[in-house]
Amino acid sequence: MTFIRYKMSGKKEYAYEVNAYWDSEKKKPRQKTTYLGVVIDKKKKIFEKKRPRVIPEKFILDFGDSYLLNNFLEQSGFVRLLRSVFAEHTSFLIALISYRLCYGSAMYFAQTWIEGSYAKLIYKENLSSQRISDFLKIIGNENILRKFFNIYLKDKIENTKGIILDTTSLPNQIHMPLTAWGRSGEEIDKQIKFLLVVDKTNSAPLFFRLLPGNIVDVSVLSNTIAEMEKLGLKDLYTYLDAGFFSESNIKELYEKKINFLTRLPASRLIYKELIQTEIKNLEAIPNGVRYGKRIMFIKQKKINLFGEEIYAHIVLDPKRKAREINNYLLEIMDEKDENKEAEYMFTKKGVMILISSFQISKEEVVPAYYIRQTVEKLFGFSKDDLNLLPLRGHSEAAVRGFIFLQFLSLIAFMQLKNKIGRKATVEEVLLTMRNLKCKVYENEILINELTKKQKLIAEHLNIIMPKKMGI
């Protein structure tokens, strides 16, 4: 049996449909009640049931990468450092750094990126090309750079045990004093030289200089050392590219009592002498050193270089030797005449000679030198879009500001990389987190459920990912 029951509550009357039935299992009568709504016309049985208000979503954004990165930079103290230097410009700067790390495409895509990212709600910045260019001129000011390094290096001085120093070329077509014709590998381009100083221990970028493109590497070491000393970095181990090798540089390093490790250029006479005297019995079991799954052969001896006693490390990589010999033989096998120079070239395949001002064990010498690869990786990260905005027709201040932005992005990149460890790359982590989306409503943000991998990343970085947030 079905009937309608009415109930007064306040000034309104409500109707309920009651369905009475016999429960055969429990052997007793029962009722099922269904709400019909507010009574409008009792005789005609017209009722009104209010429907729940539907709140439409405004848009969906990439959430995980920008949220995680912003919180990480806050926790690491990097944001606090930037605020102490850039004041009211800090939010714009962090937005650009986030773009460089989370997306890393050409600068003129920055506004498109932020419109689809939760970063638009964090920073509330307009990243149009014109605003970026104006901003880069501001941070490219020499006084800003000096203020930053004075604050930044205060915490680095006591903990830095060694530095890696290298340069790379930045080709461009800008008419300014820094741009000059110079050699880059086999090419000759109009370029700027970018010198980067990196902490040996944790790969943190410490310092950079911009130099005219026609400056040779060997000539910049003295001034760089002097500038580093002014900033308070002293008593350092220096790991140098072979491009910095010269008599004056070696003597200056000795004079200033700065320990160094570098590669001996193959063009030097002493390199040829060491090949001729030490290569014969190099591939012998007593000289074998294991590096993970690789074996190298190393001889060490003291030599006299420019009047100073120095350590030479003759290193033979069998895998590299086999590859280089194969390629070399393919080039010369058709030549019928014997060539002593060809015999020498054959002999030195797979060999590099390192020199150091201090004694290093065979087990440490190769890993110590290849720390330099850190700089190469950082250069690769920095040069992705240097032929785009702002290196196209802009002022020297804007170019300096852009390089400074890259340098700051490298600091953030290496902080995150060191925290992540070896289990994943920065790119992998941020791409994984970018797949975590959020839905934005009028007064609230709802975040999608985390995957197992996203949960592990957040836990490892000690960042709590919310389920919902207010606006």
pLDDT of 288 > 80? The answer is yes
With 90 as the cut, is the pLDDT of residue 81 above it? yes
Please report the pLDDT score of residue 53 as a whole number.
58
Domain identity same for 33 and 66? no
- Contact between 33 and 16 under an 8 Å Cβ cutoff? The reply is yes
Band the pLDDT of 382: cuts 50, 70, 90.
low
Q: Which residues pair with 167 in a beta bridge?
A: 195
pLDDT of residue 56: 58
pLDDT higher than threshold 60 for residue 326: yes
The answer to whether residue 178 is domain-embedded is yes
* 127 lies in some domain: yes
pLDDT for residue 354: 94
Alpha carbon distance 303, 273 (integer Å): 11
* Model confidence band, residue 385 (pLDDT cutoffs 50, 70, 90): very low
Percentage of residues in the chain having pLDDT higher than 70: 86
Long-range contacts of 317-323 (CB under 8 A, 24+ apart): 317/350, 317/351, 317/352, 318/283, 318/350, 319/294, 319/350, 320/349, 320/350, 321/349, 321/350, 321/351, 322/350, 323/350
Residue 250 lies in a domain: no
Name the token pair of 215. Answer: 């400056």
Residue 228 pLDDT level (bands cut at 50, 70, 90): confident
Work out whether strand 260-263 and strand 180-184 pair parallel, antiparallel, or are unpaired.
unpaired
How far, in Å, CA of 129 to CA of 398, rounded?
A: 12
- 148 and 83 fall within a common domain: yes
Mean pLDDT of the chain: 84
Question: Looking at the domain assignment, is residue 160 inside a domain?
Answer: yes
- Provide mean pLDDT across the span 228-246: 78
Burial (Cβ within 10 Å: 0-12, 13-18, ≥19) of residue 425: exposed
Higher pLDDT, 187 or 40: 40
% residues pLDDT > 90 (the chain)? 37
The domain boundary, picked from 356, 385, 417, lies at 356
Query: Of 333, 356, 379, at which residue does a domain stop?
Result: 356
Q: Is residue 361 part of a domain?
A: no
Residue 34: per-residue pLDDT: 86
Same domain, 302 and 228: no
Q: Write the single-letter amino acid at 175.
A: H
Instruction: Lowest mean pLDDT of 85-94, 118-127, 408-417, name the range.
Output: 408-417
State whether residue 394 is helix, strand or coil. coil
pLDDT over threshold 70, residue 380: no
Tell me whether residue 451 is exposed, middle or buried, using C-beta atoms within 10 angstroms of its C-beta: 0 to 12, 13 to 18, 19 or more. Answer: middle
CA dist 382 to 167, 218, 289, 334, Å? 12, 23, 34, 43
Flag whether pLDDT at 115 surpasses 60: yes
* For residues 325-333, average pLDDT: 81
Whether 66 and 212 map to the same domain: the answer is yes
From 356, 387, 404, the end of a domain falls on 356
Please give the helix or strand (H or E) that residue 310 lies within, else none.
Answer: strand 308-316
> Between residues 29 and 333, which one has the greater pLDDT?
29
- CA 9, distance to chain mean position in Å, is 65
* Domain ranges, residue 196: 55-244+371-471
Mean pLDDT of 220-233: 80
* pLDDT tens, position by position, 117-167: 999 999 999 999 889 989 999 999 989 999 999 899 887 777 777 787 777
Number of domains into which the chain is organized = 3
pLDDT of amino acid 435: 96
Asked if 237 and 253 count as a contact pair (C-beta separation under 8 A), the reply is no
Q: Which residue has the higher pLDDT, 38 or 63?
A: 63
Same domain, 307 and 380: no
